[in-house]
Structure 1
Amino acid sequence: MIPFHELLFFILAALILVVSPGPNMIYLISKSITQGKRSGFVSLTGVICGFLFHIVMVSFGLTAILLAVPFAYTVLKVTGTVYLLYLAYKAIRPAGKTIFEVDGDKTHDSPKKLFTVGFLTNVLNPKVAVFYVSFFPQFIKPEYGSVLTQSFQLGLIQVLISFSINLVIVLTAAKVAVFFSDHPMWVKIQKWFMASVLTYLALKMAFSKAK
């Protein structure tokens, strides 16, 4: 198992993933505001199942890659660094969206559609897949035991963090959207803070030593 002190940085990275602009958060906030909390809960269930899908696919994939091709670590590190810098740029670019911008869709969808769209929105979200593939190798070490077990450990931690934060967002979506709409300065602070942390994570990954 991975030591707790080494998990702290992963937890920070997982938090950044949850609050960074992306289709999952925009979808959940939109449905919670336009169709109510119940729709938000159903949508969140679909999103979480999407995370579980990613965990299974990436865990088995990483196990095979890291054991068979050690050089793959370098490729994953470079990919993750570039992607994090891209997310930092997206967070502060003038036309960038924040997680508090929603669409005006007023149509009420069935629970089946809400779950399916939430699931597919997450499964087809490249940010989640790249996060798993680029970050997991930073914390997985053979001396800690099974690579597969460590991968599942990281995945479950990320899911718990994502579920907790997204649940709060679903419950307070309307209030959060109104607050940030009335306080644009907070939106700017959120953007720059997010960009700063993402840049730090990218630099840390770039200068980390290969296994």
Structure 2
Amino acid sequence: MFLDSIPYLNEILTMSFIAIFMAISPGSDFVMVTRNSIFYGRKAGLYSALGISTAVWFHVAYSIAGLAVIISNSIILFSILKYLGAAYLIYIGWKTFTSKSIVDIEQNKSHLDISNLEAFKTGFISNVLNPKTTIFFLSIFTQVVTIETPIWIQLVYGMIISFAHLIWFITVSYLFTHPILLDKFYKSKKTIERIIGSVLIAFGLKVALTSNN
């Protein structure tokens, strides 16, 4: 099977580069992981990263099935996806902006908490309902993947993209839960909450204005 993959080496290398670029590009996923990490702790950030990397397989599945073309060309389906994603980001952004959490400055500890499942869900939903991700996968599976590309090779591409997202957002979670950054965060918590909330709302509005063209 390894020898069979050699003809697709260029595709694999191209997909790996795209996966890295796709993962590190600033967007709502980045803000969501950052939010959960600094508000609820590293564990919440890690589960959010896992949610995002799992959501990638949802996009891979419908792309392989050829549904990405249907979604991107259907005004109704694309609009449903777009407005659901926008509403979710605006909702989370507003909750963050208006947060009334109690913070113990002396102990550098927030009294907020979030379950592992809830952290996973925020990452998963943020990625699944992002119409730009749908467009991104459409471009990948129409410009990089050919008709001759075997299904198992396409699954390898999905694994590459999912793994790139997982590693990147785990890194983000560890970075934003570093003691030095957390100390600065707790000293300016309300300001940071409002900034992150505003950014999520802005991303929501941007998603709402996304075109499928």
Question: Where on the TM-score scale, by shorter chain, does this alignment land: which range?
Answer: 0.5 to 0.7
The corresponding residue for 2:144 is 144
Residues 95-139 of structure 1 show CA distances to partners (whole Å, capped at 9, x for unaligned) of x22598586269xxxxxxx9xx53674157433332387454354
Contact 1:91-1:194 at 8 Å conserved across structures: yes
Q: How far did residue 81 of structure 1 move?
A: 2.0
TM-score (norm 2): 0.57
Q: 1:170 to 1:178 in 2, by over 3 A?
A: same
The corresponding residue for 1:111 is none
Q: Kindly indicate whether residue 119 of structure 2 is the aligned counterpart of residue 128 of structure 1.
A: no
Q: 1:131 to 1:149 in 2, by over 3 A?
A: farther
The corresponding residue for 1:90 is 91
Residues 9-41 of structure 1 show CA distances to partners (whole Å, capped at 9, x for unaligned) of 77435x421213x8x943x44553xxxxxxx35
For residue 118 of structure 1, the aligned residue among 116, 119, 141 is 116
| Alignment coverage as a number of residue pairs | 180
The structure having more radius of gyration, on CA atoms, is: 2
Structure 1 Cα separation of the partners of residues 92 and 48 of structure 2:
22
Structure 1 Cα separation of the partners of residues 20 and 79 of structure 2:
21
The corresponding residue for 1:35 is none
Gaps of 5+ in 1: 33-39, 107-113
Structure 1 Cα separation of the partners of residues 17 and 77 of structure 2:
23
User: 1:192 is matched by which residue type in structure 2?
Assistant: S
Q: Kindly indicate whether residue 162 of structure 2 is the aligned counterpart of residue 161 of structure 1.
A: no
Q: Kindly indicate whether residue 25 of structure 2 is the aligned counterpart of residue 12 of structure 1.
A: yes
Q: SS in structure 1 opposite 2:167?
A: helix
Q: 1:161 to 1:83 in 2, by over 3 A?
A: farther
Q: 1:167 to 1:76 in 2, by over 3 A?
A: farther
Residues 20-73 of structure 1 show CA distances to partners (whole Å, capped at 9, x for unaligned) of 3x8x943x44553xxxxxxx35x555444444433345423431243xx84233
Residues 144-181 of structure 1 show CA distances to partners (whole Å, capped at 9, x for unaligned) of 12554554444333323322221112224642541333
Gaps of 5+ in 2: 1-13, 103-109
The corresponding residue for 2:9 is none
RMSD: 4.3
